């Protein structure tokens, strides 16, 4: 499947389709069961032409399991959800149970992860606010076995229906995608920018939008941990723009005749 949008905007990175399936695709990259991994590694692999697949045992990290749509995996965080609330905020060295748990999990965690478990990532001020953050997420347990990341050019639209199309672009390209998402709607709020994990910005948030009457795109990668991971893979500074498939199809129909054919856009990207 080719994208008019990607061509008109001059996307450097191949758009990625996110699909649900009950069949595991062949020759797809997959995390090992029980091994840590960041979903952004697999997004980068798909951008570079590979298939990637996840299931309920191979989503890489608990936040990734949530982001991909495999239910509230924070409950399965080492020690339980309360320990995750401390992990994302002030750290587990701030309470007695956390300090005891740290000694238990230390042999099973990478040094960097253990440091965050102990001292906190400090992305949210307090554990209580992390709980509110979790409660606000559009957590869903999808009725499928697998989530698949596939380069859009490999999607056969006659056989497959993606849930979400993910673009990775610089700020000029993100600006163009934002304009195009609003171009035909008559409203100016068709792109949202929630603070969330990188995988949640391309997963559960656009999943939620996909089933709404007027689905909106989700701007993401305001998660600096995800940014660091993806930068290591792509060697580039990008933002993500996740369009629910119905919106993507709408946007594809409105490339011709839009600002993308006018001089302002062409001048911005270096044309004449």
Give per-residue pLDDT as tens, 133-155. Answer: 999 999 999 999 999 999 999 99
Q: What percent of the chain has pLDDT over 70?
A: 99
- Mean pLDDT calculated for residue range 262-268: 94
Residue from 85, 62, 78 nearest 114 by CA:
78
Give per-residue pLDDT as tens, 156-179. Answer: 999 999 999 999 999 999 999 999
- Mean pLDDT calculated for residue range 186-193: 97
Q: What is the pLDDT of residue 271?
A: 64
CA gap 119, 104 in Å, rounded: 16
When the pLDDT of each residue in the chain is averaged and rounded to a whole number, the result is 94
Structure tokens at 85: 């609330």
- How far separated are the first and last CA of the chain, in Å rounded? 30
Confidence of residue 10 (pLDDT cuts 50, 70, 90): very high
- Other C-beta atoms closer than 10 Å to the C-beta of 222 total 16
CA gap 16, 48 in Å, rounded: 10
* Domain assignments of the chain as residue spans, ordered by start: 4-63+141-265, 72-136
Give per-residue pLDDT as tens, 111-129. Answer: 888 888 899 999 999 999 9
- Mean pLDDT calculated for residue range 50-56: 98
Tell me which of 69 and 92 has the higher pLDDT.
69
- Mean pLDDT calculated for residue range 223-232: 94
* C-alpha triplet 116, 120, 123: angle, nearest 5°: 115
Q: Is the pLDDT of residue 70 over 70?
A: yes
CA gap 243, 258 in Å, rounded: 18
């Amino acid at each position: 499947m080719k994208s008019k949008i990607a061509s008109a905007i001059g996307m450097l990175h191949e758009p990625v389709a996110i699909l649900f399936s009950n069949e595991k695709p062949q020759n797809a990259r997959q995390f090992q069961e029980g091994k840590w991994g960041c979903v952004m590694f697999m997004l980068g692999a798909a951008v570079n032409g590979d298939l990637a697949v996840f299931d309920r045992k191979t989503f890489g990290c608990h936040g990734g399991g949530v982001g991909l749509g495999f239910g509230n995996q924070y409950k399965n965080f080492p020690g339980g959800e309360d320990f995750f609330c401390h992990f994302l905020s002030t750290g587990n060295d701030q309470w007695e149970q956390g300090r005891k748990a740290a000694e238990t999990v230390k042999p099973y965690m990478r040094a960097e992860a253990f440091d965050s478990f102990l001292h906190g990532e400090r992305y949210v001020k307090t554990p209580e606010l992390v709980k509110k953050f979790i409660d606000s997420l559009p957590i869903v347990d999808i009725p499928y076995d697998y989530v698949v990341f596939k380069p859009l050019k490999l999607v056969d639209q006659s056989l497959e229906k993606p849930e979400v199309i993910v673009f990775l672009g610089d700020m000029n390209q993100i600006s163009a995608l934002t304009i195009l998402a609003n171009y035909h709607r008559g409203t100016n709020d068709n792109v949202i920018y929630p603070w969330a994990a990188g995988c949640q910005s391309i997963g559960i948030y656009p999943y939620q939008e996909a089933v709404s009457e007027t689905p909106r795109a989700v701007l993401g990668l305001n998660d600096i941990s995800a940014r660091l991971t993806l930068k290591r893979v792509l060697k580039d500074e990008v933002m993500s723009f996740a369009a629910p498939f119905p919106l993507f199809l709408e946007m594809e129909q409105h490339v011709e005749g839009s600002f993308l054919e006018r001089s302002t856009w062409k001048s911005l990207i270096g044309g004449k």
